[in-house]
Every structure is written in structure tokens, then in C-alpha cells.
Structure 1
């Protein structure tokens, strides 16, 4: 029997600098740079750009070679003088990428620049939203530092949604002599249209090049892009040499490597066939020790989105099937603000100083938190999911999301409720966006009976209701209505949502607890893509949380008379859990199919006889497939976790919840998975990797066919458990799990900025944000104007980043005082609790940006 122990203190309490990646550990790095719902480009581990997912769908570089070329953006540096030298401003390409298991069997025919001479040494450091690359070469007198980012400003969703990538190139003279140089940046035509290079157009733009096309204005490929230098006036080549084969890059390299860069206005090509692109060049001189920074800006704008969910029927009567150029069903959020990429570029040029400094201020506040370095690493790294193609946003501001991303398509549509249940960053950093998801669930995907379809429509609209509701997703959504109310303090919004939440909850009771036992017992669908039959601890814990949340909401909207039934049901369910589903160590499931209202399985197996097939005989022997039974499931008390971090007073037994958490760590955490058998999807954690299994059966009785992902390791569930362990005082156990997750994402085997599950940039990993708040013991209710801070780490001076609906900043706690520093916005507090004790306030606290509040303790 596995009995895991936490890592030693020396490993767990590391407050040093963030990791630096070099050599083999640069292989998988791809840090997302893009806007909320606006697409992204990734900065890779050796200083280049890849994964141009800028056209409203995922796009990664992990595709086989073809006869054509791919999107490209790259910098070159030419050192002038007697001994000239020219380099691609990137580090060595990892050798594993060259052949890449045969996908590059044509010789790596991608951007066309990959074979150019490179810097010899590179290291990468990521502190999201910034990615930083350092390039050195003994034969190059200039060191190059690259900082890539997109504006990330909590609460300012408009400026955080800019469709752009910003790359700051800092050149520093490390030699003893003055150095003359040409620095150039080159971008292929990012808006060339589809399959017709004659439609691409290039126009000089102040500071660079404007790329656009002559496709129909409703076409999905219609759009634009720009390449510019901020606060500098470069020479501009608005159009590359147009020819076949490798002509464009060959001609371009000849110019930059010989110091003969030729400018043009984009209209002097002999013909429009062939590969297209544009370049800018900046020349200068640096004396010994001098530096200069060139901010390079790439913007994009593709206003037409033709993907819908569900897909329209072929017999649609809206005439789109017969229209060669139908209007797009929806447009991205940024398309309602800017008309093209040039407007985006102009806006950023005018506001660059502010956008840069505000993003830096957010970064500095987050990374000033006095928690172990790998905790901030996990919290910050997964914020990239918000900037990835996983998240989409419509022109009206409403959110919609995938679960994750495959190579060229999204994975698992519809803002899946039971996956986004785990995500905790949006409600704190961009609460208005998160509220749109609650409205999506209850206003547009719920029918008159209360059935919530757990995959929503895109664009906004009705959905079908012919499939299971997801018990964990629907009940979790009710808890999140309460969370959003506490964060926003918007009572009118709560009054609007309250009757909808009531309808949803009543549906859940009727569907899964028709006998009012306070427990989910009828077959109930869940995040493991199957139905649990019989009473189970996991989903029932969310049920208890939803009942408790509704009781609080009923009182808050002035309808306390509607609370008693649900309150009594919650207490009844908590007693049932303790009496029937607790084995002394943890809560489990009692698989049941007889005696239920749903008799479908019982009737089916009643027909099984000795002539039946092996599948039917197995069902007759063990009951429904895909259960966990007496297993110790890591999600076993997830509802109690949600209740804890949302500050909902659930009736679930806290002592037994803590025992369950302790058992989950002891039985499910593995320091080494070498002897663990996984026939499912082992790529998330395998071999010598550490990780928390989704489930184990420490006392035997594992079903022949347990729930389908049971032997896997998912980071979102690891963070959920880690946060809950910390909340319940099992701090070292929680930190051990977080440390294990980040050790697996080491840059060589996995990307540190992409904790994938069923697809890249998987939403469930956003549970990592909760770990920071749990370590801080932080909770703020704008509705009540109450602030609680109860740090779990014994630091003499504890600091944590906070973000609320009205502002973001830091809290700093010592033995004698609490200091509130708001970087933007404000924070109002009427009731204060420190380490569980009420602090008497002479008057309410009102901290604002630039005016800190100090409370003597």
C-alpha cells in the first residue's frame, strides 16, 4: 500500500529566483503572447516565434512538412566593419526538432529562415506575462536580450485583449570597441488570404508595414496585420522579392548579410505571385557597455468567424447555405473596437508606455508574493491559458471557450461546465468576463425544466437538451453564482440570477435526488465523461455546496423563507455521507443500480444469461462500467474545496473532509510512476515523473473497468487537491503536489507554459490560481466588505498579490500591522479578520491606488 510523504523542507520552502532554462530544457518551451480571446503567437525557448494562432482557431508548429511555407517572423543582426558577421537572432535549434519523428521529413521546410546562422548560447526565463531570452555568442560583440509579452492588466479586459505580440530587443555592447550594426525584423505576409497570393497587399505604415488582402469582406481569411517598431523610424521593405521556390528568403538574406538592405513601398514587384512578406531595419552604433532597446510590434485583425457550435443543419432556412459570401455568424471582441490591424498598432504606439508599465506593475505585484517560487511559477504560467486559443470572446463581450486545443482545432466545445468548474483565475482577474459564463449557463443553455446543457452555443443562442446534464458542472455553476455575487457585490445581478439558479437546483434534486436524501444517487454524468451510479462522495460534495450556496443567496435577496428546505436537505446529505459513504479514511462510492428510479441498467442485465457475450457477463457480475466504488478518488471532496474558497458554510463534516484529503495524498501521490500501469493517456505523467493519480484502490476491489481516466494524472485536479490540503492545514502535502507538477513541466519533456490534458492550454489547470489564495488565507467579499487574511506560511513578513472586482494590489502582514497597497482601483473594508481573529476598526478602510492603507494590529 502506497503511503506518500511530503518532500523535505529544503525543497518545499525555496523562495529563490525563478528557473532559468538552458540547452535541452529549452526544447518544449512555447510561451503564449496574445490577447484575451484574440489569439496568440508563442515565444519559444531559443528566442523565435512559433504557433501563429491568430486567425480565431488553434495553430501549432507541430505539423508535418508540406510543399508550402508557414507563417514566419524573425530577427537578423548584421555586424559591420572589417570582419562582418550576420546572425539569425535566435539560439541553437534543438536537434530533436530537426527530424521530429519524421514530421520534418522534407528537410524542415517551414518559415525558410531556420537554417540561418544562429547565436551559440541561449537561456530562457519566463515570468508570465513576460518571457525573457538571453543570447550570447563569442564571435558576436553584441549580447541580445529579448522580452516578449502582451499587455496583461487585471480588470482592464479591453487593454488585455489587444491582438498583438510585443518583442523588446535590447542590444548591449560587451566588447571593448564601438560596434556598428544593422538590426532587422522580418515577417511573412500574415494576411495573405487563402490559396491566392495575388490577393495579398503590402503598404508602408508609419514605423513599418501594413499587410492586408482583397478577399471578400465576409470571408474568414479577410483581415490584416502589421509589423512596426515602436518609438523608432526604421527603413522599410514593404514587400519581399516575389518568386518561386526559396527566392524570397534567399534574396532577403543576401541583402541583410551584405549590408545592402533595399527599401520599397510594396508596389514595385514585377508580379504578385510568390511568397510575400515585409521587413524593417534599424541601424546604429554602440560604444563599450552601451545598450539600446527596439520594441517590435506585430498586430493582427481577422474579424470574421465562421465556426459555430453546434454546426448549422444543411437544411438551414437562413440562406447561408446558398450565399457564396455569408455574413460571419460572430466576430471577435477586438473587432468591435478596431477596424483593422493598423488601428490596433496606432493605439499601441500611442499608449505603449502605459500598457508596458501597467503590465510590469501587475507582474511585480504577483511575483512579490512571499510564497515558494514554484507556486508563483504555477500560478503565473497558467494565466497563459487565458491568452491562448482555448478562450474566445464574442463582439458583445460574452465569453466562450474550448476545454483545450488540438494542433489545428479546439478540443471539446462549449465552455464545458464541469471543466471550467476548476478554473479560478478569471473570476478574480476579470470578474465581468466570468459573470458572462454564469449568464451563458443559466440564461441561454438552461431549458424551462432546469436542464443545463453543459456545452454552450457559439454564437450566443439556444442549445439542444437531448443529452445528460453534468451533475458536477451544473451544481458547481450554482456555487459559482454565489462566488460571483460575493466578488462583484452586485445585488441586482444576483436578483436576476437567483430564480434561474433555483430552477437549476430544483432540476438537480428531481433528476438525481428524487427521494430527497441529500445525496446524488440516480446515475449522474460528470467530468470523467461517464455516469456514476449510486451515491458517491465526489459529486454529492458539490451537491451539498450548491444547497448551502442557495441558502445564502435566498437570504441575500430577501427570500429567507425559501431557504429552510434546501438547508435541511444539505444537513440530511451530510449525515448520509458520514453514515454510509465514509470508511474511516475517506469518502467513497456505493455502486447501485437496483432500487433506483432509473431501471434501465437493471432491466438490461436481467436479460443476461450464459449465452451472452463477455461484456454483458462482466456487467452482470460487477454492475455498470466506469465506476470508482471503494476507490480513493482525488476529487472525493471537491465540493468542500469549492465551498471553502468561495466562503460557503457547507454542512459537510470538516474533520472527515480533512481525513479524506490526507488519505488522497497518502494513497494517490507517487514520487515515481515507474511501476504504475496506465493503459489510458500516460503522457501527462509517466516514468520517473511524480504525480497525483486520479484514483487508487488502496484496499483492493478495483473494478475490471474503472472510470475511464482513473489511472491518469491531471494538473487541474492536482491543484484542486493541493489548494484544499493547504486550506485544511496540510501545507507540506499541498506544496509537494505543486512542486511535483512544475517539475514535470521542465522544458524538455513538457512545456512549462502549457499544462495540457485533453488538448493544449487546458482550462482545468487554471485551478492553480487558488493555491496562492489558499496559502494567503485570503478572502474578500465586496458584498459584505469583509477581508480575511490568514497566511499558512510562517514568514515574519508575508506578502500576497490580490485582485478583486474593484482593484488589484498587495497585502503585506507583519506582527504589528497590515499594509494594503492598491496598484489600480480601490479596496473598501468594513470588517477585518487576521489569522481567524476579528480586528476592531476605528473606521472603515478605504485604500486607493497611490494611497496605501495601514492597519495597526
Structure 2
């Protein structure tokens, strides 16, 4: 069906605004998932339309891969902004950028704030990387906006274009001709000498300015504004791009503006200056703007084409909404650095890294976040995925331990160890094997085999009592909760935990398969012995009769008998690899019954992390107040549990677990579609810690679970991943 509609999709996207109807035919309702039509898409979309003021953490980011971003907020203002290399914490602009003059009236296209703003109401619909906005104003002209940047699966270079397009639509709804003048003039930007330029039908102005971060005096950065069929010039506020249009009664017109930036130099946490990868393709912001002007129509056409695949996929509506939008976390958290020195360990591809969350917990490439959140890179940009794996291998210790991260803040050469290593040492080999399944690259697998082998053997050395299980090693002292040294790191576990020890068994299952593929029969034999021993002990220490308890330290007698939602994460780990379950199927089935009975109904906001057999929420650890992580809803715990339900054919419970959490994120008491949290409070439905965590991209493994597939099958020709890549690469029609 998709291929039949492709020509129509391309045609609709290529039509001018004067030939099109409304951008979308739904009104703001932040508590309802709606189905409606959107210009340029053949299939109806599933999404949430927000009014101004509904998203306290801000709107959708505009930007590409490793370019920096700026948010277009639902009130019509530009919000958080990192395009000027303010890392880790972004600048908050909070400034209007669009102005409309009708006759003698100059209107600020933003809702009123501190006496500034002439928009009465907003309907805001984001389908990343596109933000569609309708403004309600008093006057004879209706105004809407389509803003976007290039996010094009399969084309990392084009995604690395530092630019955003703002296409304003004006409709004369009166019976008289109207003269309209539009200005695009972002506030809060650096100032400096302005230089006009032109390219085809575009007119622009480039500003050269000192970097906002510390740099030598010779370093200059640039940004540019441009307009199609208009003029650009300095003004008293900085610079502006302007266009004037005469509208006949009933006529619709479109005016396209561009914002381009070129900020090549940035300083990482060690103090060393690096360069953005995009600086290899573009000399300055004028060059970026010229490229964007030539290609922005094609960007939009290709974006809408891959989105149409998802909206026509038959996947659950709440999942379509999240799959389209969650790649925003790459735009907010990614950096892509060029190779500029002969001793850089990365090659000409550059170094592509994703931060855990620049806005909240700025740590470069934490192992648990990569393990759960790398799916978009893996599926659509495997060449970038490999650069991160190369970085992890580069910093792996001789004893086999991989780094927990590459550094705090924005650091790329300050690796940290001995943190969540009980999980990370087993996660890293699985990342290697997932890449192999995605690409089929046999030389890669052989090349990385020693690194994977050493990491797994390091993991086994963390079995300090010789029972075949990796114990938890909390790094807290009595009376404190942090660092717990597990992914829920304000909740220490003791002895063997169902999560950590179970994932260790899954890592062995993966390792055995890798060893067999590369012909290391002796290593495979040793790991089979370890797996057999570990499985037996796991059952003896952790099985309660109905589920696997959270943890049990037989040496001290300390244990937690709560039913942990992610006790079967090990099963998810091996299912996505197409390998055998590390636990007995009858135990898995019974544990799923307990999770469905206890964890699933414990909060209206999602599946609670830990619940006792009598239904009491587990209250253990911190951080405190309304945020007790044992009773909260961690994203990775909820997601992996939901997918085990799906893999085992329990569709209703799996969809309920996944859908409830996502409904809270998009339509809960504190909606945060483009500021997704580390976890949710089971009490309030708000965040239990931070925003913009990149492990949310674990949802891109949901389609595998729904179809009962592994990575290789999901990426096969004709599958969802293949169809998205094909659509995103489609050439423009003649």
C-alpha cells in the first residue's frame, strides 16, 4: 500500500502553500491522542496537538545530527538553544522571531508575555523534525508556520547540516486585498558585522561574531538569515529577513525563511578545542544557507515520505507518535566531531557521540544509555554507531573493563570506570553483536571479538563468591543511597539481583554465540559451563515461587522480595538478538503473570518498578519525597518488561505497559514530548529525574517485539527499517 501512495506523497509535499489546505485539521487538546490529516502525508497521523503554555519544558528542537539545536516553543518563541556551542547547558532565548505587519499594525507572532505578543491562541503539532503551528490573531489574515530541519534516515551527512527552515503561510480570509509584510528576526543572538549575500532567489545576511565561549581572538563564528523572494539587512535589533506579499481575497501564499549557523570550534571538558564535522562541508553560514536553500524542499519531501511509512505501518497509534518524535533526543544530545589531528584515534568518519542528557545529567556516552538508546543510530546511521563502538574499545582497560562513559559534562577523553560496571561489561559485547546483526559485517565481528571476549571475562570476575552470578556492588555507605552502582542508582541492591545477574546470563548467551561464530570453541565451552552454573544459582537464590525477587545477599541475609518490573530484562536482551532465553520458559511465564498482577496496575502513569506480593509499593532507597525510584517508573524497566510481554504473546499486557507510560509522557499531568525524562513519578506523573534522556530511543525496539523479530529480521528487505530507509532516500520527482 505504501508504494502505491508514494507518488502522491511526493506531489503533495512539492505543492506550494497556495495549492494546499490547512497544515493539519485538528485543534489543540493536550489530553487527547487524535487522528487527523497533515499536509504532505497520505496516511492520517496519530498525534497530540498542544496549546501555548502546555509544555513547561519547551517545544520541539530544530537542528540535525551533531549540529546543535534551538527549540520552537508552543507560544511562538524560540526557547532553549545550543547552536552557539553552549554545552552542556543550553542558552534559553525566550524570544519571538516572527513579526507580521498588516496595514499600520505590527503583530508579534507569539502569545502575550510581559506585555509582548499578539497571538490569541496556538495549535502546535510536532512530528519531528517538523513543527506545524497555527496562530490565531485578530485580523483579516490567517497565519500558520511549518518549521523543520533535515532528519533523513540513511543520510548522516545531510542530517549534519546546521540549518532550520521557517515556512510561514498567510491566507487572506477577507473580501478585500491585503498587503502583508513578514519579518524573521530572532532575538538574543550574538551581534557583529553583517554582510549581505544572495543565492538563486534567496537573499540573506551573515553575521560574524566572537564565539560566546572562550576562544582565541582569531576565531570567528557566523550565522545567517535568508528569505526567498525578499530582502535581508541589519536592523536596530540585529538582523532581519523580510518579505512583502499582496494577497487577493481568499489567496494563500507561503514565505520561506532560513536560519543557518556555522560555529566550528567548541571546547570539550578537558580544555581541548575540537571542530564540528559540518565545518568540513561548509566554509561559513552563507555556504550553509545556500545549500539549505537549494535542498530544503527535498528535505521536507523526504522527511514526510519516511514519516508516511510509520503512519501507515499499522503499529499502535501511541507507538507511531513516539517513534516519529523520539529521535529528537539525538538532536539535543549528539555531537559529531571532525578528525583534526594526526593522533586522533577516530578516522575520517569523525567521532559521533551522544550525551546521556545535556540538559540534566551531562555525561558523554554512558554505557546503559547507549545500551537502551542506540537503536536509531544502529538502524539508520550504522556508520555513526561504529564510531562510538570504536571509542569504547579505544578506552577499554587491559583487564577488559570497558568505560562507563567517556567523561563528565561535555568530555570525550576523560573516561570513567568502576561505575555500573556489573552491567556495562556485559552490555558492551551485546552492542557489538547487535551491530553485527544489523550490518552482517563479518570482518567487524572478528576485529571486535577480542574486545568483546575480554569484557565478558572481566564481567565474570565480578562474581566474587563463585556462585556463577555477577553480584551487585553498591558504592554507598550506610545511610546513603547514591551511588547505588546500578541503573537505578539511588536504590542500592545487594548480593545477586534479578536485573544485574540476569543480564549477566544474557551476556553469556550472546558471548557463546559470538565465540562460535569466530571459531573460538574453547571460550564458548567455558562460557557454557559458567552459564549452566549461573542459571542454577539464579533460580535457587531469586525464585520466590511466583517471580524473581529483586535481590538476595545470602552472605548477610539481606534481601528484597519485591516483584521488580525489569526482572526479565535478560529475556529482552537475548530476544532482540534472536538467541535462546537465559531463563526457563515456565518461570518467565509465571513471572509475567506476577508483573501483570502487581506492577502493571500499581500507578495510572505506568508500570511501577517494584511491588511486594501483597500489593504494597516498595519504598527503599532514594532520592526522597515524591521521588523514590523503587516505587517510580523507570523508562528502561517499563519498556523491556513491556517487550517481554509482547515477545511471549501477551499483547494486551504489553501494549498496556508501553502505552500507559507513553500516554503519560505525551498527555499526562506534565506533558513532555520533547523533554522526555529518566523516569516518571508514580505519585505525580511528572519526572522523577530530569529530562531529555536518550535511552528513550529503546522504543525503536518495540516493533521487533510486536513482530517477534530480532535485529537481523527487522532490518531485512521489505521490513519496516528497510522501507523507512527507502522512503527517506527517494529522489525528488522530475
Shorter-chain TM-score tier = 0.7 to 0.9
Matched, 1:129 2:137: no
Equivalent position of 1:433 in the other structure: 384
The alpha-carbon deviation at position 279 of structure 1 amounts to 0.8
- CA–CA distance in structure 1, aligned partners of residues 658 and 447 of structure 2: 38
Deviation string 1:144-203 (CA, Å, 9 cap, x unpaired) is: 1211211111121111122222211111222223222111111247343xxxxxxx2211
Question: What residue number does 2:727 align with?
Answer: 823
Within 2, Cα distance between the matches of 1:653 and 1:346? 60
What is residue 499 of structure 1 aligned with on the other side? 450
Q: Is the contact between residue 144 and residue 170 of structure 2 (CA under 8 Å) also seen in structure 1?
A: yes
Aligned residue for 1:765, secondary structure, equals helix
Partner of 1:404: 357
Gap change, CA 1:29 and 1:723, over 3 Å in 2? farther
Q: Decide whether aligned partners of structure 1 residues 464 and 186 sit closer, same or farther in structure 2, where only a CA change above 3 A counts.
A: closer
Q: 1:498 to 1:748 in 2, by over 3 A?
A: same
How many residues were matched structurally?
A: 646
Native 8 Å contact 1:208 1:228 kept in 2: yes
Say whether 1:223 aligns with 2:246: no
Contact 1:366 1:801 in 2 (8 A): no
In structure 2, stretches of 5+ residues that fail to align are 1-31, 36-43, 340-349, 475-484, 624-628, 679-688
Matched, 1:751 2:654: no
Q: Which residue of 2 aligns with 1:578?
A: 539
- Counterpart-to-counterpart distance in 2, 1:391 and 1:61: 16
Q: Hey, what does 2:22 align to over in structure 1? A: none
CA contact (8 A) 1:129 1:363 kept: no
Inter-partner Cα distance in structure 2 for 1:85 and 1:703: 60
Return the offset for 1:495.
1.0
Distance in 2 separating the partners of 1:768 and 1:283: 45
Instruction: Please tell me whether the aligned partners of residues 262 and 284 of structure 2 are also in contact (alpha carbons under 8 angstroms).
Output: yes
Listed as ranges, the matches of 1:775-790 within 5 Å are 775-779=706-710, 781=712, 787=716
Q: CA deviation at 1:514?
A: 6.1
Q: TM-score, normalised by structure 1?
A: 0.70
Aligned to 2:415: 463
Q: Residues 662 and 126 from structure 1, CA distance in 2 versus in 1: closer, same or farther, beyond 3 angstroms?
A: farther
Q: Distance in 1 between matches of 2:313 and 2:646?
A: 16
Distance 1:535 1:512, change over 3 A: same
Structure 2 match to 1:392: 335
Contact 1:87–1:116, Cα closer than 8 Å, also in 2: no
Any residues of structure 2 matched to 1:804-819 within 5 Å, and which? 808-809=722-723
**Contact 1:475–1:505 (CA<8 Å) still a contact in 2?**
yes
Q: Deviations over 1:36-68 (max 9, x none)?
A: 121111111133321122123255576xxxxxx
| SS of equivalent residue, structure 2 residue 363 | coil
Does 2:699 match 1:738? no
CA deviations 1:500-548 (Å, max 9, x no partner) are 1101111111122662x43223636321226533122111221111111
In 2, Cα distance between the equivalents of 1:774 and 1:532?
A: 29
User: Displacement, 1:718?
Assistant: 2.2
| Secondary structure of the corresponding residue to residue 385 of structure 2 | helix
Residue 77 of structure 1 is aligned with which of 100, 105, 119?
A: 100
TM superposition shift of 1:801? 6.8
Contact kept, 8 Å, 1:32 with 1:41, in 2: the verdict is yes
Q: Normalized against structure 2, the TM-score is what?
A: 0.81
How far apart are 1:223 and its partner, in Å? Answer: 1.5
Query: Which residue in 2 is equivalent to 1:417?
Result: 367
1:214 shift after superposition: 5.0
Match of 1:187, SS?
coil
Residue number in structure 1 paired with 2:81 = 52
Per-residue CA distance 1:318-374 (angstroms, 9 max, x = gap): xxxxxxxxxx43222222332322221121122223222222212222222212221
Deviations 1:713-742 (A, max 9, x none): 233432222222222222222222333223
Shift of 1:571: 3.0
Measured at CA, do residues 73 and 698 of structure 1 come closer, stay the same or move farther in structure 2, by a change above 3 Å?
same
**What is the deviation of 1:469?**
5.2
* 1:159 aligns to 2:125 (yes or no): no
Indicate if the aligned counterparts of 1:20 and 1:125 stay in contact, CA closer than 8 A: yes
Distance in 2 (alpha carbons) for counterparts of 1:188 and 1:117: 14
Deviations 1:641-676 (A, max 9, x none): 12112223243223322332332233123465xxxx
Tell me which residue corresponds to 2:313: 369
- Cα RMSD of the aligned pairs, angstroms, is 3.1
- Alpha-carbon distance between aligned partners in 2 of 1:13 and 1:535, rounded to the nearest angstrom: 45
Cα deviation, 1:744-796, whole Å, max 9, x if unaligned, reads 233862322221224321112111222233223344528xx9949xxxxxxxx
1:281: which partner in 2?
242
The 2-side partners of 1:209 and 1:747 are apart by: 43
Q: Secondary structure at the match of 1:753?
A: coil
Pick the aligned partner of 1:342 from 286, 289, 301.
286
Distance 1:547 1:358, change over 3 A: same
1:293 counterpart residue number: 254
* Offset, 1:577: 2.4
**Whole-Å separation in 1 of the counterparts to 2:731 and 2:578:** 27
Q: 2:524 maps to which residue?
A: 563
The answer on 1:205 being equivalent to 2:194 is: no
Say if 1:705 and 1:776 are closer, same or farther in 2 by CA, change over 3 A: closer
Superposed counterparts of 1:512-591, under 5 Å: 512=463, 515=466, 517-521=467-471, 523=473, 525-529=485-489, 532-591=493-552
